[in-house]
Amino acid sequence: MIGVLVFPDFQLLDATGPISAFEIAHRLQGRRAPISVLALKAGAVRSSSGVELNARSFRKALPDTLIVAGGEGVRAAADCKATLAFVRAVARREQRVASVCSGTFILAAAGLLDGRRATTHWRQTRDFIARFPKVRLEADRIHVQDGNIWSSAGITAGIDLALAMIADDFGEDIAQATARQLVVYHRRSGGQSQFSALLELKSPSGRFKSLLAWAREHLDQDLTVERLAEKANMSARHFSRSFTAETGISPSKAVERLRIEVAQARVQSGSEPIEAIAKVSGFGDAERMRRAFMRTFGHPPQALRRAAKQHEHGIAG
């Protein structure tokens, strides 16, 4: 049985995304999906959107897979002794336990993540690290598996998490067919970045928004602060200060993140030589790109390529 744990003010898609993925995967095999929505008390549980799901009490439930939703009410749920005891009990039976988005806080509060690798929504990173320093948080990952404990990033990453589990359970063909039924373009591997480099910035607008779009199309050029300032019709000093104030990072850091994002996509999606990717994305040489990847992902480009190929062929966990 697949149990999806919810609580008052949970995020609806954290629960319904994985539910839909597993329902489709089972239906493709001519079976009915054994899914139950679980909560502390049986009955209707209101999500943060106001939409309710009908749940059964988890007190008598024995799920083989437990998926914990996140959402606005996660802090209260993470303080609930009965909820934490239930999550621990499932994990002690060596069943698969997973979280979506800020549901990671419940797993961490239950002590399941101490010394383990995990991820959560990127907006929760700073607070999570402060509260749970024993967790090896990999803040930029779509989803992470460490033994029988899985965790995923924000909202739609729960679908990627479910698809990875489906690949484990039923094979890559069923996972791909489920993704197509969901009209998901492709299943993102756990090692991919949670966010776009442009989306990470603080809502750049006006000339900076168009400037960043231009920079992305000219990454192979020498994008110095002076060059960017000239393009924005500003002095270098004024441009640097204004850009940092509006976006939250320096111009050089923004350019590096754009380069990393473009390079990462090319590294993971094909067999193009690493040296060629380094040049077209503006790093100039493979060693400079390798250092940037190590700072950002903790792994060199070749490792990300191998991981992406393993996920593609369904041989990775």
Catalytic residues: 101
Q: Give the separation between CA 121 and CA 119, rounded to whole angstroms.
A: 7
Q: Which helix (H) or strand (E) holds 55?
A: strand 52-57
Q: Which helix (H) or strand (E) holds 196?
A: none
Amino acid present at 215: A
Neighbour count for residue 313 (Cβ, 10 Å): 9
Instruction: Tell me phi and psi for residue 3, to 5 degrees.
Output: -105, 135
Residue 56: burial class (beta carbons within 10 Å; 0-12, 13-18, 19+) = middle
Tokens of 298: 């903790």
HSE-CB for 98 with a 13 A CA cutoff: 30
SS3 86: helix
The 10 Å CB-count burial string (b at 16+, else e) for 123-152 is ebeeebeeebeebebbbbbbbbbbeebbbb
The label of the residue with tokens 């000339």 reads 207
What CA–CA distances, in Å, run from 274 to 254, 265, 286, 288? Answer: 22, 12, 6, 11
Tokens of 313: 């062929």
What are the residues facing 55 on neighbouring strands?
A: 43
DSSP state of 245: H
